[in-house]
Structure 1
Amino acid sequence: MNQENLASFIWGVADLLRGTLKQSQYGRVILPFTLLRRLECVLEPTRDRVLEKAKAYHDKSAAMRDRILRNEADLQFYNTSPLRLATVSETHTREDLNDYVRHFSPAAREVFEHFRFEEFLERLEHGDALYPVVQRFAAIDLSPQRLDNFSMGVVFEELIRKFAEASNETAGEHFTPRDVVHLTTSLVFTGQQERLRPGEIIKVYDPAAGTGGFLSEAQSYIQQISEGVDVSLHGQELNPESYAICKADMLIKSEPVDNITLGNTLSDDQHEGERFDYLLANPPFGVDWKGSQRAVNEEHEQRGYAGRFGPGLPRVNDGALLFLLHLVSKMRQDQSSQWPSRIGIILNGSPLFTGGAGSGESEIRRYLLERDFVDAIVALPTDMFYNTGIATYVWILSNAKPEERKYHVQLINATKYYSKMRKSLGNKRQYLDEEAIKAIVQLYGCYDENEESRIFPVETFGYRRITVERPLRLNFQASEERIARITEQKPIQKLGEEQQQAILDACRQLDGALCQDREAFKQQLDTALQRQGVKLKASEHKAVLAALSERDPEAPVCRDNRGRAEPDPELRDAENVPLTESVDDYFAREVQPHVPDAWIDTSKKDPLDGEVGIVGYEIPFNRYFYKYEPPRPLEEIDADLRECTDRIKRMIEELSA
């Protein structure tokens, strides 16, 4: 039975839960029971020896007894109860199960607390479903001899997916498909053979650990290269059930469980000050960070670049770039080191281009690119994830790139490297087989330019947004139509009715002729207002002039009291000048031939380099791989239409015959 079938078989326990629990709650029983059975099977070989030691050392201190029993179990956890699922009594099922779980070592016991296990046992007992559920799980073989840790992880993930679908949760927030995990890990560890030598200590970190897929894959990958490497796994997870499964996985693999923490990574970094060699993550796509907004804003404003979010903050509806900044802050800071830190993170398309020059997103991209952190970006096929079919990308970052890659970014279009799944899993309809993963990794490792791999200098993605102004040209007229617009102006609406009427009466004293000279018209207007005894504030006077004016391309340029041309806000435009070009040359070539009276607003300068224009960065990935396909000849289209029309006619004739 493969992992998918086994997961479906386990999920079949749901048949016993109908009428006792809501469908959305099935996973809260099935997941912890699956974990309990897995832990039980893992402990089975040393079970009797542990029980003997527990009796022999019952009078020792808790710390000494814990150390002895973990050593005897040859794991990071143990259980001192003589019970097993198969021996739980039918008459005292709930009491036996609670006692059984309480005899686990503290770290393992905490796993079941996060599932609120005791609460759901009581509900199952009241529905007369508890003992049948125990019997069903007692008969399932989840021993390591049958399922290694990787296979067990796949089973867990499939169960979580079913749970998420049943409860209308977002499955992709909890785990990443294993094929995508394998690809990302392979890309991050490409060319790292020298780093992964026997005796080296490697720290791996995932800030959105889910069920621990990235951590397990990284450990497995490293150990395939060199068994003598000491791999230390670290992670943080927000979802309690996912955290519980990840922690159980660490227990089974005898990894230190204290390195896996529960909490919100953005607002409560529980690995503060730590640095890691390899960092892997798949943060949730398009999920807002409102819940962390206060803490993130405070860190950004108070700590600046000494904190995690110094470069800027993205809009609150998508926190993906915050996770990326968080990962960068966890890289080893000594960039002169022979062994840099490397990051592999999966993001949607938004971080590539969302936000114009000066926005939080653009400033984050600027920080990453100008400091040469971004190594490569790989476009994945669509329909790769359980909860979404959108386009996704793997970003590879390093804080000390090889010489040939310095200040360049490799873009890889891997959207055609997929195989169709025989049966869709949620929105996942495609997957990466071993050949596809190998081909993508080769594209990255070879570092050549071809149809699927392009290499660009960092400045290719940068531009300066300059503001292009054109002069204000107006005509003025005291016509009834324009006079009627005066009372629509907000500053005038704040005045009393008597004063408003006085303004209208003053304007009606003007001769009504069209005037293209603003200064001459202002003098006429001021004279009329004085005759009417009306005194206006500057804002009110401006509002009256605005109502009586209309844009006129033939009118003279309006100038301020220094004789400078006034810009027309309605004609204001912005141009993005590539960083590889001179602003003046670009303006002379692209703007002035079309609008000779335009000029650049030189007052708007970039706050970092002081030059004219605000610097922005974006990575228009698809543009670099776009291939023009000419439309079919009209003759072919006409032939298809005629064939379609004839076929419809024949069908109608057959129906009417």
Structure 2
Amino acid sequence: MNYTAHNKLVSFIWSIADDCLRDVYVRGKYRDVILPMTVLRRLDALLEPTKEAVMEELAFQRDEAGFTEWDHTGLEDASGYVFYNISEWTLKRLYNTATNSQQILNANFDDYLNGFSPNVKEIIDKFNLKSQIRHMASKDVLLDVLEKFTSPYINLTPYQREDPEGYTLPALSNLGMGYVFEELIRRFNEENNEEAGEHFTPREVIDLMTHLVFDPIKDQLPPVMTIYDPACGSGGMLTESQNFIKDEEGAIRAMGDVYLYGKEINDETYAICKSDMMIKGNDPENIRVGSTLSTDEFSGHTFDFMLSNPPYGKSWSSEVKYIKDGKDIIDPRFVVPLTDYWGQEEEVDATPRTSDGQLLFLMEMVDKMKPVHQSVLGSRIASVHNGSSLFTGDAGSGESNIRRYIIENDLLEGIVQLPNNLFYNTGITTYIWLLNNNKSDDRKGKVILIDASERYAKLRKNLGAKNCELRTEHIREIKEAFLRFEDIDRQNDDDLAAKIFDNADFGYYKVTIERPARLKAQFTEERIADLRYDKYLKEPMEWAYENYGDQVYSDLKSIEKELLEWCEENDFKLSARRRRALTSEKTWKKQKEILDAALLLMEAIGTDEFPDYNVFVGQVDKTLKDQKVKLTASEKRQILSAVSWYDAAAAKVVRKKQKLKSEKLAQLLDHLGCTEEDLPDFGYYPGDRPHEYILYESETDLRDSESVPLKESIHEYYLREVRPHVEDSWIDLDRTRIGYEISFNKYFYQHQPLRSIEEVTREILELEQESEGLIMEILNLT
């Protein structure tokens, strides 16, 4: 759309709000009137030429055919669209015949709105337009608003017209309507000190996406095509895709039927989208309102093409309950089959963190891809994302699992990095993901990354955050790079670059490196004193014991009120379970028993320091057995933890000693993929007796991880990068996770060498001379 015409139309509509609604609505509420009236006038203007034909068809159905219920098909044929209005009114007639009575005007307007077909009535309801009409009538501004919107100097139809002076009024396409909508939203929200929250997709980005989706198969398009957008907004991406395919002057000019499907959560945007679907002759029932994530509206459907710009950086926490039940995924769209390191397949979580749901929309589209056995072409997807989709999330996280599923199933064909400040309401870097489940042989197992971040032209005037655009030559250059599927080196800073990667290049093993626990131990009164208290309730228990002594064991009920009041006064927050534990004599007596056991052990073992924790535990076990003291494993751990600490000079702590027969040893070696000499690298250290192996406790504070490229051997990487620096470490393969991430910065980074010291020195001296000359000139000493 012509930007000048776009800005002129937006300014005119904005002036309606400023001229008519001031003092009637607060600025933040202007949109509640302006947006629905813009859509209404767009529909009304289209129906004006066929108004007489519709009324004749209505009279025929009522008077001659004797219908008691209207034949919608006949009325739609008469109007020329999939909608109609059977009232005697149009917006112009409402204005031209209006009296000074706002009450009569309101009644006539209500009759006009009730005359619309059911599909338009839904749009009116989504905008809550009737209540706005009543409010404007009550404030005596409805007639003024009507005058502005029926002006012959604006054109809200998708057809070119002339104004009374004979000047051309450009057509307002679906995309143009989207631009108007986006700009009005931006202005309204700026006036209200709010963020727009929308990221409307610029025309040239949609143009690029359609080229990348359709051009590679333009000679193989099916006779019937379905296009889907799960976050369709005002529908611009859908209708522009349709225009791209069907345009008589375009490069494709497909003859088949095109069916558009979409879903939008925002009522206003949905109403605009649905109205434009009706105007274009598409089935408006294929556009649904509501959350794509909460409800699988098109369950069981698959689509040939999908294009979308889903919301990014937007929380989906309010929709978690529809997707998860606790930790279990209840929506099959967001659980995927993946294999662990050992090749065992399992269903894993494919949901990102709740603060950003953009990858869920991508999984919705993946779920709707046509299997190749249903369609020779399969499905093709273009989806716009910000950078977090490329790398956010560690191995095993929902984000990484999504990337892994897409890449390992060979669905990712390419990603294009776009310039910054290309969108209207965000300046962040964006990327177009291109997915295809039926790659050509030369592309199978590979992905092309295209860095087009420097391919743009500056705008003469900013449009919101947008200060640049993609021109025809930039789109053609990116498209040709994608079609060629070859490496392209950047010759100049503002050139395009492209690189081909194997799928596995993006994958890595996250490997856990363990080190042995080395503990010393010693009984002292200070170390065991805190065993009197539950570690989660230490502060209030300590206060109670210091103030009430042994009364906490014999008459806890009498001090319960004071104890809970102390917690409130000291802002010590307690859950219901912890509150019950704190005021239960059972808790106090249990901790006292643990303390008594520790005192008994200290008396028997003494207060000598043990440099070998294994010997110390042996002494503890022997004493407990000799004294016939029974402790649970948890109670024993409390005592041992209280009297031990890490010391690098101490002996390693043995977790267990294990005897392995030849058959078991062979299975272990096969499982680990190593030789017997390599077993210490995986935590199995030779013992003192034949066939015996020692497994040491790991020190969690010293636990580390390494990212090992998927194409590399974990063991070889460990021997090269880890073992030389940490000799007593080992690999815990059972903790190994597989992750995927894509880093444009790493792949396309160009090193800029530092300038020489001579060059920097020369520049400093030149600046000093220049500044001295300026000072002399100021002082008139030259």
Question: Do both share a fold (TM > 0.5)?
Answer: yes
Question: 2 CA distance for matches of 1:510 and 1:557?
Answer: 21
Equivalence for 1:556: 651
Is residue 199–residue 423 contact of structure 2 (8 Å, CA) maintained in 1? no
**Match among 6, 13, 16 for residue 9 of structure 2:** 6
Aligned pairs for 1:9-24 within 5 A: 9-15=12-18, 16-24=20-28
Checking the alignment, whether the CA contact within 8 Å between 2:370 and 2:379 is kept in structure 1 is yes
| Aligned pairs for 1:421-460 within 5 A | 421-451=459-489, 452-460=497-505
2:238 to 188, 198, 215: 215
1:100 aligns with 2:112: yes
Inter-CA distance 254–502: structure 2 relative to 1 (3 Å threshold): closer
Question: 8 Å contact 2:656–2:696 — kept in the other structure?
Answer: no
Worse-superposed segment, 220-229 or 364-373: 220-229
CA deviations 1:96-126 (Å, max 9, x no partner) are: 2222222222212221121111101111122
Instruction: Give distance in 1, aligned partners of 2:130 and 2:117.
Output: 17
- Render the CA deviation track for 1:334-374: whole Å, top value 9, x for unaligned: 35742121111111112211222222222211111111111
SS at match of 2:649: coil
Identity of aligned residues (%): 40
Q: CA deviation at 1:77?
A: 1.6
What displacement does 1:523 show? 5.2
Checking the alignment, whether the CA contact within 8 Å between 1:171 and 1:386 is kept in structure 2 is: no
Q: TM-score, normalised by structure 2?
A: 0.76
Asked if 1 retains the 8 angstrom alpha-carbon contact of 2:515 and 2:728, the reply is: yes
Partner of 1:520: 615
- Structure 1 residue 434: deviation in Å? 2.2
**Structure 1 position 501, deviation (Å):** 7.2
| Cα distance between partner residues in 2 of 1:63 and 1:236 | 31
Deviation per residue, 1:68-109 (Å, 9 max, x gap): 221122211222333332322143322222222222222122
260-269 vs 52-61, greater mean Cα deviation = 52-61
- Structure 1 residues 624 and 485, CA, compared in 2 at 3 Å: closer, same or farther? farther
Q: CA 1:372/1:515 → structure 2, altered by over 3 Å: closer, same or farther?
A: same
> SS state of the match for residue 696, structure 2?
coil
Secondary structure in 1 matching 2:74: helix
- Which residue in the other structure is 2:547 paired with? none
Tell me the secondary structure at the aligned position of residue 71 of structure 2.
helix
Paired residue secondary structure (1:107)? helix
2:320 equivalent to 1:288: no
Q: Which amino acid aligns with 1:614?
A: R
Q: Which residue is equivalent to 2:44?
A: 40
2:738 maps to which residue? 615
CA distance in 2, matches of 1:440, 1:62: 59
Equivalent residue for 2:213, pick from 188, 194, 216? 188
CA distance in 1, matches of 2:311, 2:432: 14
User: Which runs of 5 or more residues in structure 1 are unaligned?
Assistant: 605-612
- TM-superposed CA distance for 1:221, in Å, is 0.4
Task: Map residues 73-222 of structure 1 onto 2, 5 A cutoff.
Answer: 73-88=79-94, 89-90=98-99, 91=101, 92-139=104-151, 140-143=154-157, 144-145=159-160, 146-149=170-173, 150-167=175-192, 171-173=196-198, 175-196=200-221, 200-222=223-245
Contact 2:533 2:591 in 1 (8 A): no
Distance, in Å, in 2 between the alignment partners of 1:637 and 1:513 is: 66
Deviations 1:446-490 (A, max 9, x none): 211023111111111112222211122223345677567767883
Contact 2:155–2:172 (CA<8 Å) still a contact in 1?
no
Partners of 2:262 and 2:288 within 8 A in 1: yes
Instruction: State the partner residue of 2:690.
Output: none
**Deviation of 1:21 (Å):** 0.7
Question: Does structure 2 conserve the Cα–Cα contact (< 8 Å) formed by 1:471 and 1:565?
Answer: yes
Counterparts of 2:77 and 2:746, CA distance in 1 = 58
Instruction: Report the residue type matching 1:314 in the other structure.
Output: P
Distance change (3 Å), C-alpha of 1:483 and 1:114 = closer
2:397 equivalent in structure 1: 359
> Counterparts of 1:120 and 1:646 in 2: how far apart (Å)?
70
Tell me if the contact between 1:491 and 1:540 (Cα under 8 Å) persists in the aligned partners. no
Q: Which residue does the alignment assign to 1:588?
A: 719
The residue type equivalent to 1:584 in the other structure is H
Partners of 1:85 and 1:138 within 8 A in 2: yes
**Please, what is the CA RMSD of the aligned residues?**
3.3
Q: Is the 8 A contact 2:412 2:433 kept in 1?
A: yes
- 1:24 and 1:640, CA in 2 relative to 1: closer, same or farther beyond 3 A? farther
CA offsets per residue over residues 599-644 of structure 1, 9 Å max, x none? Answer: 112434xxxxxxxx22222222321111222333445556666777
Partner of 1:323: 361
Residue of 575, 578, 585 corresponding to 2:709: 578
Task: Specify the alignment match of 2:55 in structure 1.
Answer: 51
Q: Residue 337 and residue 256 in structure 1: after superposition, are their counterparts in 2 closer, same or farther (change >3 A)?
A: closer
Give the AA of the match of 2:268: E
Contact 2:594 2:635 in 1 (8 A): no
Deviation at 1:417, TM superposition (A): 1.6
Assess if the C-alpha contact under 8 Å between 1:201 and 1:231 holds in 2: yes
Q: Retained in 2: the 8 A contact 1:507–1:525?
A: no
Distance between the aligned counterparts of 2:210 and 2:38, measured in 1?
A: 27
How far does the alpha carbon of each residue in 1:502-541 deviate from its partner, in whole angstroms, 9 at most, with x for none? 7468648866554322233345567888999986544343
47 and 523 in structure 1: CA distance in 2 versus 1, 3 angstrom threshold:
closer
1:508-547 residue pairs with structure 2 within 5 A?
513-522=608-617, 536-547=631-642
> Match of 1:420, SS?
strand
User: Equivalences for 1:398-409 in 2 at 5 Å?
Assistant: 398-409=436-447
1:336, 1:400 within 8 Å by CA — same for their partners in 2? Answer: no
- In the alignment, the residues of structure 2 paired with residue 291 and residue 68 of structure 1 have an alpha-carbon distance, to the nearest angstrom, of 44
- Residues 300 and 445 (structure 1 numbering): CA distance in 2 closer, same or farther, change over 3 Å? farther
One-letter amino acid of the structure 1 residue matched with residue 10 of structure 2: A
Between 33-42 and 409-418, the greater mean CA deviation after superposition:
33-42
- 407, 410, 428: which one pairs with 1:372? 410
Write the distance in 1 (CA, Å) between the matches of 2:598 and 2:621.
11
Match of 1:104, SS?
coil
Structure 1 residues 292 and 416, CA gap change in structure 2 (3 angstroms)? same
Residues 487 and 440 of structure 1: is their aligned pair in 2 closer, same or farther, counting only changes over 3 Å?
A: farther
Q: In 2 relative to 1, CA 244–656 (structure 1 residues): closer, same or farther, beyond 3 Å?
A: farther
Q: Is the 8 A contact 1:204 1:279 kept in 2?
A: yes
Does the 8 A contact of 2:528 with 2:598 survive in 1?
Answer: no
Residue equivalent to 2:574: none
Q: Which amino acid aligns with 1:352?
A: L
Q: Partners of 1:651 and 1:98 in 2: how far apart?
A: 75
Q: Could you tell me how far apart the structure 2 residues matched to 1:427 and 1:488 are?
A: 59
Q: Which amino acid aligns with 1:195?
A: Q
Report the Cα offset of residue 215 of structure 1. Answer: 0.6
